[in-house]
């Protein structure tokens, strides 16, 4: 299942502001939240980590 484009675009903009993985509302993704981390990687949000 793919994310809605508006959600993905918003999530990317939020991720650009953080140095750690965050969800679509800007809260840090916990290490044990495998499902959210999987979506985060599959959708390519990981490429937008602030460096």
Q: How many domains does the chain have?
A: 1
Report yes or no: 24 and 7 within 8 Å, Cβ to Cβ.
yes
Q: Mean pLDDT for the chain?
A: 95
Q: Nearest-CA neighbor of 40 among 25, 51, 29, 50?
A: 29
pLDDT at 1: 62
Q: Whole domain around residue 31: which residue ranges?
A: 5-48
pLDDT band at 49 (very low <50, low <70, confident <90, very high): very high
Q: Is the pTM value of this prediction over 0.75?
A: yes
- What average pLDDT does the segment 12-23 reach? 97
Contact 13, 6 (CB under 8 A): no
Q: What is the mean pLDDT of residues 44-48?
A: 96
Say what the pLDDT of residue 16 is: 97
């Amino acid at each position: 299942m793919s994310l809605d484009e508006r959600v993905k675009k918003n999530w990317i903009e939020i991720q650009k502001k953080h140095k750690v993985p965050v969800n679509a509302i800007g809260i840090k993704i916990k290490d044990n939240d495998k499902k959210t981390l999987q979506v985060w990687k599959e959708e390519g949000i990981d490429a937008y980590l602030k460096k």
